[in-house]
Amino acid sequence: MKINNTKNLKKIFLNISLVAVLFSTDTDYMWPTNASNTLTAFFGEMRPHRYHLGIDIRTYGKNGDPVFAITDGYIYRLKVSNTGYGNVIYIKHDDNNISLYAHLSRFNEKIQKNVEQLQFKRNSYLIDHLLEPGIIKVSKGDIIGYTGDTGGLSGPHLHFEIRDEINRPLNPLNTSLGKKFKDTLKPQPDFIAFIPLSDSSRVNGFNYIQEFEINNSSLGTNDTLSVIGDFGIAINVKDKVNSQPFNYGIYSIDLEINDEFQYGIKFDKTSFTQNNQIYLERNYELLELNQGEYYQLYKVSYQNNSFIDKKSKGSLIPKEGINNYKITIKDLNGNENYVKGTFVYDKIINPDFIVNELANGGWIINYKNIDNIDNIECKLLNSSKSINESLSCDLVNDMSIHKNNAIIINNTKSIYNTLEITLNTDKGKTVKHYALLDKKPLHIQGDLTINHNYDGIRIDYEENEFSGMKPSLFFQSDGVMKKDTLVRVSKNKLISNLFSISEFMKMSNISIRYETDTFTIIKDSELDKYLVKPGEYSEKIIINGQALFIHDKKTFYDDTIIYSHPVNIFEEQSIINPFYIGPNAIPFNKPLKLIINLFDIKNQNKMNVCYYQNNKWNPLYTIRDETKVISAEIKRGSIIGVIIDDKIPEIDNVVPRNNATYNLGDMENFEIYLKDNFSGINYDNGINLTVNEKNILTGYNIYQKKILTVRLKDYLKIGKNTYRLTVSDNSNNTKTINGNFYIKE
Ligand SMILES: [Zn+2]
């Protein structure tokens, strides 16, 4: 098929498809393998930077079960690769849908011959070939290949997809295949998050995301929540299927507020061009904070996702006062579940109060903009221990409420070090925390980090040890020193208010100070920061000339600050000082290119740009040229370093052993395993095998770490044979082995 014809073909297909839809009946598909009808992954599940757009059928750890054509059609695409789908077959069916069967161990005999011919013709193990209709016809139930583990690290399984006539992935279980599957269990919602979407928004008094466990008996949140300003809701939910140990994605979620539709998502059909939209749909900030996978129930800007109902709204705008929300979650077998709750909504920030210490150790509270106080609750907490260890005010003898506007605490020498005050008003609830100063720590240290999400930037400060004090954020802006409050959100962690991008760009000399006798500057700014705009190319030198970033026109969806600062890692391997480059909580639309300056460091061709995660350095695909720089691309905020890899790959040669004799009939493939601990085997170009001085086409099974060969037998002769194998890793380290073996008939 010629590529320049595809546009016309698409048009024709579009016209046909309109007719096809009118006459289509739901074809009765056959389940594609007898390996099992158990699934290990569903359609619409999250994968790094993409959706999983098929189903994974379990093969119980083994390869070689037959794979069947689900209905009549012809094979229209065959692909062999070391990564991705591995060995994969695409069938075009009479109902115009396409089915796809991936990670196969091998094809049926006829297809295998076809594939080998193509491999020899192109002198390449890797092929991707489109076939004209009629070359290989298949009928429903024909064995087209065998299950396997090629192309990935996930082990044996059958990845199966159904697409429509123009290659848009469909949910395979939304066809007749879904009926071959028993499931009577409801989706199980675990957590709900309320997300402030502006710097003046508050959820229960706080300007940051609040997560609540869903009470299983009433399927809602226990208390009425207080919400002020723009906000959104997100839900953490899993689906279970009868007698299967896996957690699944769900089919649809709908949000209603006061019985009115707000947002809907249905995992039925999408297109590959929308694959990178996943982090605009699952909440990226909660994901980066390791809080799990939350489905956002509001539409963010730049969202163009066909899973999402077009009538869905952005930030939720309910009525003032009491509102009811209802979230309906369904799986594909008609099992549904609900989450219900109430919240009090206010458009502007009204309730607020200030607490001041009295000379005798008591506290006085001044109210702002509050007409009616229902009641005041207070609690003593020990924030260095579990938050559950708390004591209500009415249980504390030494604490009393005076004239509705002052709380006196006489005894703070107990295990408690934090006072939590909750003000319930007709406008909702406001909560504040105060540290009860006991003794002044002498050497407090901590780390400043930047948290840049869609709605702005805040400064996070983490104390190395709990101080029990109230440090403040100081910074210079427009030549003036400014002070801002920090809120303690957990034992050692404090966060600032949210700043806008323009406010943050003006800030310099950011520091943390404790208001003890003398001010202590914890950390001065070592921060590089640049505003980048979509549609504008820019490159900036960061980290004192050590690195350069290149912002492509499409790296981010919206105005974004790229920032970097040095990081201390107790790991001496990196040959440059490690640095963090962010944003941390904004999804990248396209990768960001980093160029690292190596100055006069030698061994450039063995250097790897790496990111630090899970307490180790992980190599990124590194481009090296003859200059003194190396480069790589990142898709998320990361700690970056450079590591030298000078370890040669390991070759574990099982068959053929040197000087051993083998039967010709047993020699389908060599049994040679490769290992490289760091940058990995360069399997597309770095494996070179000759037998009797002739080149063998080789591939690589990443999961088994095994070399694959094409028609090896054709190169063998009776008697003495010689071979030579050269293997390179991705850091130009090479190992060669030679040997000979004997073949008898
Ligand atoms: Zn899969």
pLDDT band at 695 (very low <50, low <70, confident <90, very high): very high
Distance 59 CA to ligand 1 centre (A): 12
* pLDDT at residue 275, as a whole number: 79
Beta-carbon-side half-sphere exposure of residue 157 (alpha carbons within 13 Å) = 17
pLDDT at res. 65: 98
Residue 440 has pLDDT above 80, yes or no: no
Number of residues in the chain: 745
Reported as a single tens digit per residue, the pLDDT across 204-245 is 888 889 999 987 776 777 678 889 888 999 999 988 777 777
- 398 with 426, same domain: the answer is yes
386 C-alpha to ligand 1 centroid (Å): 40
Overall domain count for the chain: 6
Q: Which of 180, 196, 229 is the last residue of a domain?
A: 180
Answer yes or no: is pLDDT of 417 > 90.
no
Residue 143 in any domain: the answer is: yes
Q: Residue 573: its pLDDT value, please? A: 85
Among 97-101, 552-556, 633-637, the range scoring the smallest mean pLDDT is 552-556
Instruction: For residue 709, give the CATH number of its domain.
Output: 2.60.40.1220
Q: Comparing 292 with 22, which gets the higher pLDDT?
A: 292
Q: CA 285, CA 256: separation in Å to the nearest integer?
A: 24
> Looking up tokens 């003593």, which residue turns up?
380
One domain, residues 539 and 500: no
Tell me which amino acid residue 551 is. Answer: H
CATH for 261: 2.70.50
pLDDT of residue 687: 97
**Which CATH number does the domain housing residue 494 bear?**
2.60.40.10
Q: CATH number of the domain that 98 lies in?
A: 2.70.70.10
Would you say residue 64 has pLDDT above 80? yes
DSSP 8-state class, residue 681: B
CATH assignment of the domain containing 571: 2.60.220.30
Please return the burial class of 17, using the count of CB atoms within 10 Å of its CB with bins 0-12, 13-18 and 19+.
middle
pLDDT value at position 394? 58
Q: Which of 52-66, 172-186, 325-339 has the lowest mean pLDDT?
A: 172-186
Of the candidate ranges 316-320, 442-446, 705-709, 717-721, the one whose mean pLDDT is the lowest: 442-446
Instruction: Tell me the CA–centroid distance for residue 143 and ligand 1, in Å.
Output: 20
For ligand 1, the distance from its centroid to the CA atom of residue 86, given in whole angstroms, is 12
| DSSP track, 277-298 | GHHHHBTHHHHHTT----EESS
Residues 382 and 237 in one domain: no
Quote the pLDDT of residue 524: 58
**Dist. CA 352 → ligand 1 center (Å):** 51
The answer to the question of residue 365 being in a domain is yes
pTM: 0.81
CATH code, domain carrying 360: 2.60.40
The span from the CA of 174 to the CA of 268, in Å, is: 7
Neighbours of 572 (CB within 10 A): 6
**Ordered strands of the 399-402 beta sheet:** 352-357, 363-368, 406-409, 399-402
Q: How far apart are CA 53 and CA 516, in angstroms?
A: 57
C-alpha of residue 43 to centroid of ligand 1, in Å: 9
Ligand 1 mean position, distance from CA 85 (Å) = 9
The model's confidence at residue 626, banded by pLDDT at 50, 70 and 90, is confident
Position 368 scores a pLDDT of 55
Pick the more confident residue, 356 or 592. 592
Q: Is the pLDDT of residue 19 over 60?
A: no
Q: Are residues 96 and 167 in the same domain?
A: yes
d(CA 5, ligand 1 centre) in Å: 31
d(CA 457, CA 450): 7
Cβ(642)–Cβ(606) below 8 Å: no
User: Does residue 568 form part of some domain?
Assistant: yes
Does residue 159 sit in the same domain as residue 256?
no
Q: What confidence tens digit (pLDDT) does each residue in 451-493 have? A: 999 889 999 988 888 877 778 888 888 877 788 888 888 888 9
Residues 62 and 148 grouped into a single domain: yes
- Residues with Cβ within 8 Å of 186's Cβ and at least 6 positions away in sequence, in order, are 331, 335, 336, 337
Query: Which domain-ending residue is among 644, 661, 685?
Result: 644
User: Which residues are 368's β-sheet partners?
Assistant: 352
- Omega cis (within 30) before 656: yes
Answer whether residue 10 shows pLDDT above 70: no
Q: Which of 415, 436, 457 is the last residue of a domain?
A: 436
Q: Is 463 inside any structural domain?
A: yes
Rounded-to-integer distance, Cα 494 and Cα 480, Å:
23
Q: Write down the pLDDT at residue 4.
A: 41
Domain co-membership, 601 together with 669: no
Distance of CA 39 from the midpoint of ligand 1 (Å)? 10
| Domain-located, residue 24 | no
Residues 415 and 533 in one domain: no
In-domain check, residue 231? yes
Place of tokens 């920032």: 563
Angle at 574 between CA 637 and CA 603, to 5 degrees: 115
Mean pLDDT of 338-358: 72
Percent of the chain at pLDDT > 70 equals 82
pLDDT of residue 603: 78
User: Which residue has better confidence, 484 or 126?
Assistant: 126
Report the pLDDT value the prediction gives residue 156, as an integer from 0 to 100.
97
**The pLDDT of residue 353 is above 80:** no
Cα(482) to ligand 1 centroid in Å equals 53
Cα–Cα–Cα angle for 573, 574, 576, rounded to 5 degrees? 150
CA distances from 585 to 122, 285, 434, 501, 558 (A): 45, 5, 28, 14, 13
Write the DSSP string, 524-548.
Answer: ----EEEEE-TT--EEEEEGGGTEE
658 and 630, same structural domain?
no
3-state percent helix, strand, coil for the chain, nearest multiple of 5: 10, 45, 45
Distance 51 CA to ligand 1 centre (A): 10
**Of the listed ranges 263-272, 478-487, 531-540, the one predicted with least confidence:** 478-487
Per the domain annotation, does 60 fall within a domain?
Answer: yes
Q: How confident is the model at residue 714 (pLDDT cuts 50, 70, 90)?
A: very high
**Is 6 a domain residue?**
no
Angle at 702 between CA 173 and CA 53, to 5 degrees: 20
Q: Provide the token pair at 329.
A: 């979650």
Ligand 1 center from residue 27 Cα (angstroms): 23
**Cα separation of 693 and 616, whole Å?**
42
Rounded to the nearest 5 degrees, what angle is found at the Cα of 296, between the Cα atoms of 293 and 301? 125
Ligand 1 centroid to Cα of residue 173, in Å, is 14
Q: What is the pLDDT of residue 441?
A: 45
Give the alpha-carbon dihedral of 688, 690, 695, 697, to 10 degrees: -60
Helix (H) or strand (E) holding 6: helix 6-23
Least confidently predicted of 160-174, 234-248, 420-434:
420-434
Helix (H) or strand (E) holding 77: strand 73-80
The mean-pLDDT minimum among 298-312, 406-420, 580-594 falls in: 406-420
9 against 729, higher pLDDT: 729
Q: Which two tokens stand for residue 227?
A: 């919400």
Residues 311, 380, single domain; the answer is no
Mean pLDDT to the nearest integer, 327-348: 88
Q: Assess whether pLDDT exceeds 70 at residue 273.
A: yes
Mean of all residue pLDDT scores within the chain: 85
- Which structure tokens are listed for 700? 């690589």
Strand 480-484 relative to strand 472-477, pairing: antiparallel
Q: What is the mean pLDDT of residues 3-26?
A: 43
Q: How many Å lie between the centroid of ligand 1 and the Cα of residue 161?
A: 8
Please state the rounded mean pLDDT for residues 638-665: 94
* Residue 601 confidence (pLDDT) above 80: no
Q: How far apart are CA 393 and CA 409, in angstroms?
A: 9
Distances 166 to 162, 253, 730 between C-alpha atoms, Å: 11, 27, 37
State the average pLDDT over residues 140-156: 96
pLDDT per residue over 354-411, tens digit each? 565 555 555 666 655 555 566 667 777 665 544 455 666 655 555 555 555 556 665 5
Structure tokens at 8: 């016309």
Ranges 73-87, 281-295, 368-382, 440-454: which has the least confidence: 368-382
| β-pair type (352-357, 363-368) | antiparallel
What is the per-residue pLDDT across 94-111, written as a single tens digit (0 to 9) for each?
A: 999 999 999 999 999 999
Domain identity same for 80 and 147? yes
Measured in angstroms, how far is the CA atom of residue 75 from the centroid of ligand 1?
Answer: 20
d(CA 137, ligand 1 centre) in Å? 25
Asked whether residue 193 falls in the same domain as residue 339, the answer is yes
One-character DSSP codes across 533-599:
-TT--EEEEEGGGTEEEEE-TTS-SS-EEEEEEE---S----SS--EEEE-SSS--SSPEEEEEE-T
One DSSP character per residue, 491-505 reads: SSEEE---B-HHHHH
Domain ranges, residue 221 = 188-345
DSSP state of 150: T
Task: Check residue 610 and give its pLDDT.
Answer: 96
